[in-house]
Amino acid sequence: MKTQHTLAMVLLSSLVLLGGCKSTQVSRVDSNQEIALTDKWNAKDSQLVADAMITDMLSFPWIDDHLRKEGNKPAVIVQRIRNKSHEHIPVETFINDLKRAILRSGRADFVADATVRQDVRDERADQELNSSFDTQNAMGEETGADYALSGSINSTVDQLDGDRVTFYQVDLRLIDMTTNREVWNGQKKIQKLQEKSRFGL
């Protein structure tokens, strides 16, 4: 009888221990699939906003005016995009999404930023010393940017009784590098609702 009682206690203890353990499972998912665990800015937001804003930018008259006047595709450089939101947003990821959207459109060229250009210039200088004449890339043949893209990401948060609405607004502008004219001004808004569980879970 005592043995049975001891065995029962051991089994009960084991069940309690197993019930208290939480297993962690990791699985691979499609990188294009949105997984929204919170109402924070995420990779899907970055991609969707970039695609929508570049599509809008390329629908404005400035690009046809440029093609008619210059006879070639405009070259765009992405300058500073400021994160003025309440949270950390990886702006570099958003800038890269903008670059991909520009290049994917086929309607405009993209010019590298100052840091990348300097790295390439260092490489060309090295080529002058170490590469054969036939394979050297000449200095002074860079493509200058015709237009500069810049802007900001802002946000507001409204919260009540555990429910929260987070609002993001992205503002971008495109400036003609020759005249300083603003040829496009775009805005994209995202609003997210995070509701508290009503079952106390």
Report phi then psi at 122, rounded to 5.
Answer: -60, -40
Extents of the domains making up the chain = 40-151+173-188
Question: Is the pLDDT confidence value at 174 over 80?
Answer: yes
Per-residue pLDDT tens digits for 163-173? 899 999 999 99
pLDDT (0 to 100) of residue 95: 95
Q: Return the structure tokens found at 53.
A: 């804003």
Per-residue pLDDT tens digits for 32-79? 666 767 888 999 999 999 999 999 999 999 999 999 999 999 999 999
CA 69 vs CA 31, 64, 147: distances in Å: 41, 8, 14
**Per-residue confidence band for 19, with pLDDT thresholds at 50, 70 and 90:** low
Per-residue pLDDT tens digits for 108-164? 998 988 787 788 778 888 888 888 888 878 877 778 899 999 999 999 999 888 889
Question: Is the pLDDT confidence value at 191 over 90?
Answer: yes
**Could you tell me the pTM of the whole model?**
0.76
Domain 40-151+173-188 has CATH 3.40.50: yes
**Cα distance between residue 162 and residue 33, in whole Å:** 27
Question: Is the pLDDT confidence value at 6 over 70?
Answer: no
**Cα distance between residue 104 and residue 92, in whole Å:** 18
Report phi then psi at 34, rounded to 5.
Answer: -80, 130
